[in-house]
Structure 1
Amino acid sequence: MDDFVTSQRFFLLLVTLVSGYLLYLLGPILSPFLVGALLAYLTDPVADRLELAGVSRTNSVVIVFVFLITLSILLVLLLVPKLSHQVQVMILQVPSVIALFEDKALPAIQAYLGDDVSFGDLQSFKDLAASHWQKTGDIMAQVAAYITRSGLAIVGWLANLLLIPVVTFYLLRDWDVMIEKIGYLLPRNLEPTVSRWAKESDEVLGAFMKGQLLVMLVLGCVYAVGLWLIGLDLALLLGMLAGLASIVPYMGFIVGIIAAGIAAYLQFHDPMILLWVAAVFGVGQALEGMVLTPLLVGDKIGLHPVAVIFAIMAGGQLFGFVGVLIALPVAAVIMVFLRHLHHGYKNSHLYGTGMVKEITEDESLNVQDTEVNEQR
Structure 2
Amino acid sequence: MLKVFRGWIDRYFSDEEAVLLVVMIAASLIILLTMGTVLAPMIASVIIAFLMQGVVVRLRAWGAPHWLAVTLTSLLLMAILASVVLVLLPVIWQQSARLVTELPRMLGEWQEILLLLPQNYPNLLSEVQVEELISVTTAELGRFGQSVVSFSVSSLPALLAVLVYLVLVPILVFFFLKDSTLIVNWIGGFLPHKRPVMSKIWHEMNEQIANYVRGKAIEILLVGAVSYVIFALLGVNYAALLAIAVGLSVVIPYIGAAVVTLPVAMIGFFQWGWSSEFFYLMLAYGIIQAIDGNVLVPLLFSEAVNLHPVAIIMAVLVFGGLWGFWGVFFAIPLATLVKAILYAWPIGVQQAGHPGESEPE
What is the TM-score when the length of structure 2 is the normalising length? 0.78
Please state if 1:272 is matched with 2:276.
yes
Deviations 1:74-95 (A, max 9, x none): 1111111111122223334444
Pair 1:154–1:128, CA change in 2 (3 A): closer
1:287 aligns with one of 288, 291, 299: 291
Distance apart, 1:219 and its partner CA: 0.6
Which structure would you say has the larger Rg? 1
CA distance in structure 1 between the aligned counterparts of 2:269 and 2:181, rounded to whole angstroms:
53
* Structure 1 segment 156-305 matched on structure 2, within 5 A: 158-183=163-188, 185-190=190-195, 192-269=196-273, 271-289=275-293, 291-301=295-305
1:57 equivalent in structure 2: 66
- CA distance, structure 2, for counterparts of residue 156 and residue 282 of structure 1: 37
Aligned residue number for residue 121 of structure 2? 111
Asked if the contact 1:204/1:300 (under 8 Å) is kept, the reply is yes
The aligned runs of 1:32-71 (5 Å cut-off) are 32-71=41-80
State the Cα deviation string for residues 204-262 of structure 1 (Å, max 9, x = none): 42443221331122111111111111111211101110111122345454344432222
- Cα deviation for residue 115 of structure 1 reads 3.3
By how many angstroms is 1:102 displaced? 4.1
| 1:76 has 2:85 as partner | yes
Kindly indicate whether the alpha-carbon contact (under 8 Å) linking 1:61 and 1:172 is maintained by their aligned counterparts in 2. Answer: yes
Mapped contact 1:346–1:353 kept (Cα < 8 A): no
Structure 2, unpaired ranges of 5+:
1-9
Moved more, 104-113 or 51-60: 104-113
The amino acid across from 2:296 in the alignment is L
Deviation of residue 67 (structure 1)? 0.7
Q: Distance in 2 between matches of 1:287 and 1:323?
A: 26
Report Cα offsets for 1:300-357 as digits up to 9, x if no partner. Answer: 22565655555455445445677667766543321322344699444249723139xx
2 CA distance for matches of 1:261 and 1:42? 33
Match of 2:4 in 1: none
Query: 22-31 or 308-317, which moves further after superposition?
Result: 308-317
Question: What is the aligned partner in structure 2 of residue 338 from structure 1?
Answer: 342
Over the residues paired in the alignment, what is the CA RMSD in angstroms?
3.7
- Residue 30 (structure 1) shift: 0.3
Q: State the SS of the aligned residue for 1:29.
A: coil
Is residue 227–residue 235 contact of structure 1 (8 Å, CA) maintained in 2? yes
> How far 1:55 moved relative to its partner?
0.8
Asked whether the 8 Å contact 1:37–1:168 carries over to 2, the reply is yes
Cα deviation per residue 1:277-315 (whole Å; 9 max; x = unaligned)?
Answer: 023213323432454224322232256565555545544
Q: 2:39 pairs with 30, 52, 76, which one?
A: 30
1:344-359 equivalences in 2 (<5 Å): 344-348=348-352, 351-354=355-358
